[in-house]
Amino acid sequence: MNVKKFTAPTSREALRKVRESLGPDAVILSNRQADGGVEILALANDDAASLAMPAPHSPMADPAPSLDLTTAVPQARADQRLEPRMESRMEPRFENNYPTPAALPAQPVRRVVASAASFASATKAAAPAPAPATMDVDQIAAMVTAAVASAKQNAAAEMQNMMGEIRAMRGMMETQLAEISWGTTQAREPQKATVLREMLAAGFSASLARYLIEKLPAGRDAADSMRWIKNVLTRNLQTMANEDALIEQGGVFALVGPTGVGKTTSTAKLAARCVMRHGPDKLALITTDAYRIGAHEQLRIYGKILGVMVHSVKDEADLRIALKELKNKHTVLIDTVGVSQRDQMVTEQVSMLQGAGSDVKRLLCLNATATQETLNEVVRAYQGSGLAGCIMTKLDEAAAIGNVLDVVIRQKLNLFYVSNGQRVPEDLHLADPAYLIDRAFKLKRDIVNTQYLDAELPLLMSNGEQAMREVHLG
């Protein structure tokens, strides 16, 4: 082996010397900086090839020994040592069902030598079955298409599962971070915890409470913070400013909502207001409630008291004809049939009112005693192309009204009236935002400090993190 050293100021010149001395196939062993230049140790290609081959008389040059299976290896001494152990271990297993090794006749040891014919037959038996005849091009294309479709389906399923796991992890991390954040905020700013208790006890949602508390100006005590919260809620509660403009304008109004929410009674209260303003000749009543027993009679009794004719319709064609006949009336009030927000008839009812050939303004009746989840479902079901406004009913029966005010504020509905009894027309009032917000916080003041524990507030606020994204106030 002849290793040569080459030095030069640069690597390019050192490599040029190696190529001139040893040829282009030289093997570079090392390359390092030395004495302000480059030092390269190189070896010729022939010398490197000789390193890979063992010496002629070395042990590595000898051929590998072959194992002769026909040569017997004496193992008498090993058998003498192993035989007692084998017998002691095998006797308990044979004494129950099988004869002992001593009782077995001695069998001569035979050596089995596999012949070429037997090996060929065994190989032929183990070989796979021959492939079928050549497949058609269309069959091959169909198989490839099916394989590609199956691969895409499996990939899509795996991707969907992975995205679901990622969303679950994201939700868990957001919940934990929100809980930690609110826990530190509660310790640093205790007035926010007081405001939160007040809003939750009044019936407002955790998402709306969290949104307002995060917008709460700094440096305020609990009393100032509550005044700020009430002012913001009052400004965002949209109400009808002028009742006279609505009554003077007139038009066709349909009261919609679930069963038992108070549509017929509210229709009678509105009819009484119109009669007192314009007289019975300028008003017409229409009912579409042909399902409940006595529904027509209830509205007919109100119409008889007010001196107003009540018309009954069954479908969209009847409604279109009735509205065409009553086009000279100043105000037309339609009392619709009560349908659950989860019933398919809600869509049919909304379509019937929209296709009546007239501008029918829909007023949604919201039950103040219902939960927020129920009220949200009702609004989404009856929304359609848009609601003209809503009427809050059964205000006198509700233990808390923050739930219905929360829905009206978040859904940006226009609150026309509030109803707090069965008397016609006394128990129908124009909505007053300041009064309603103040009443919401006064109803549940006795359980403000007992509804939730301090340790439960961070968890409650973290659960409202997702719904908070839907809150948009002015």
Q: Report the 10 Å Cβ neighbour count for 285.
A: 25
How confident is residue 405, by pLDDT bands cut at 50, 70 and 90? very high
Please report the pLDDT score of residue 280 as a whole number: 87
Q: What is the Cβ-side half-sphere exposure of residue 213, based on CA atoms within 13 angstroms? A: 28
Highest mean pLDDT among 26-30, 121-125, 243-247, 324-328: 324-328
419 alpha carbon, distance to own chain's centre:
38
Q: Report the 10 Å Cβ neighbour count for 325.
A: 11
User: In whole angstroms, how far apart are CA 189 and each of 37, 127, 133, 181, 211?
Assistant: 69, 81, 82, 12, 16
User: In whole angstroms, how far apart are CA 303 and each of 287, 424, 429?
Assistant: 11, 12, 21
Residue 65 reports pLDDT greater than 70: no
Please report the pLDDT score of residue 404 as a whole number: 92
d(CA 402, CA 443): 9
The answer as to whether 128 is a domain residue is no
Strand-strand pairing, 360-367 and 251-256: parallel
How confident is residue 465, by pLDDT bands cut at 50, 70 and 90? very low
Torsion-angle region of 214 (φ positive above 0: left; ψ -120 to 50: alpha; else: beta) = alpha
The one-character DSSP state at 384 is T
The answer as to whether 409 is a domain residue is yes
Q: Which tokens in the block code for residue 107?
A: 């069998």
Name the least confident of 85-99, 339-353, 359-373, 457-471: 85-99
Q: Report the 10 Å Cβ neighbour count for 336.
A: 23
The one-character DSSP state at 203 is T
Domain that residue 268 falls in: 240-431
How confident is residue 446, by pLDDT bands cut at 50, 70 and 90? low
Please report the pLDDT score of residue 291 as a whole number: 66
The answer as to whether 215 is a domain residue is no
Among the candidates 34, 54, 74, a domain finishes at: 54
Q: Which tokens in the block code for residue 25?
A: 């196939």
Q: Which of 70, 69, 102 is nearest to 84 (CA)?
A: 102
Q: Report the percentage of the chain scoring pLDDT > 90.
A: 10
d(CA 214, CA 227): 15
Mean pLDDT of 191-220: 82
The answer as to whether 226 is a domain residue is no
The answer as to whether 322 is a domain residue is yes
Please report the pLDDT score of residue 118 as a whole number: 46
How confident is residue 225, by pLDDT bands cut at 50, 70 and 90? confident
Please report the pLDDT score of residue 356 as a whole number: 74
Contact 404, 370 (CB under 8 A): yes
Residue 57 reports pLDDT greater than 90: no
Please report the pLDDT score of residue 418 as a whole number: 92
d(CA 198, CA 364): 28
Please report the pLDDT score of residue 63 as a whole number: 54
429 forms beta bridges with: 418
Counting the structural domains of the chain, the total is 2
Tens of pLDDT, residue by residue over 232-247, are 999 999 988 777 777 8
Contact 363, 256 (CB under 8 A): yes
How confident is residue 383, by pLDDT bands cut at 50, 70 and 90? confident
d(CA 52, CA 55): 10
Strand-strand pairing, 251-256 and 37-43: unpaired
- The domain that contains 375 carries what CATH number? 3.40.50.300
Please report the pLDDT score of residue 398 as a whole number: 87
How confident is residue 444, by pLDDT bands cut at 50, 70 and 90? low
Residue-wise DSSP of 97-152: HS--GGGSPP---------HHHHHHHHHHHSPPPP-SPPPHHHHHHHHHHHHHHHH
Name the residue with higher pLDDT: 195 or 450: 195
Q: Which tokens in the block code for residue 97?
A: 């069902």
The answer as to whether 257 is a domain residue is yes
Mean pLDDT of 258-273: 89
Q: Which tokens in the block code for residue 73?
A: 């290896």
Q: Which of 42, 12, 14 is nearest to 27 (CA)?
A: 42
Residue 104 reports pLDDT greater than 90: no
Among the candidates 54, 69, 89, a domain finishes at: 54
Mean pLDDT of 149-154: 88
Residue-wise DSSP of 349-377: HHHHHHTSSS-EEEEEEEETTS-HHHHHH
Tens of pLDDT, residue by residue over 46-56, are 776 666 555 55
Please report the pLDDT score of residue 305 as a whole number: 87
Q: Report the 10 Å Cβ neighbour count for 270.
A: 25
d(CA 463, CA 417): 33
Mean pLDDT of 358-373: 89
Residue 357 reports pLDDT greater than 90: no
The answer as to whether 447 is a domain residue is no
Q: Report the 10 Å Cβ neighbour count for 171.
A: 12
Residue 273 reports pLDDT greater than 60: yes
Q: Report the percentage of the chain scoring pLDDT > 70.
A: 69
Contact 250, 275 (CB under 8 A): no
Average pLDDT for the chain = 75
Measured over all CA atoms, what is the biggest interatomic distance in the chain, rounded to whole angstroms? 131
Strand-strand pairing, 3-8 and 37-43: antiparallel
Mean pLDDT of 347-353: 83
Matching residue, tokens 């198989």: 143
Q: Which of 135, 183, 203 is nearest to 402 (CA)?
A: 203
The answer as to whether 251 is a domain residue is yes
Residue 83 reports pLDDT greater than 90: no
Among the candidates 24, 39, 54, a domain finishes at: 54
d(CA 14, CA 22): 12
Mean pLDDT of 175-183: 62
Name the residue with higher pLDDT: 206 or 103: 206
Burial class (CB in 10 A: 0-12, 13-18, 19+), 23: exposed
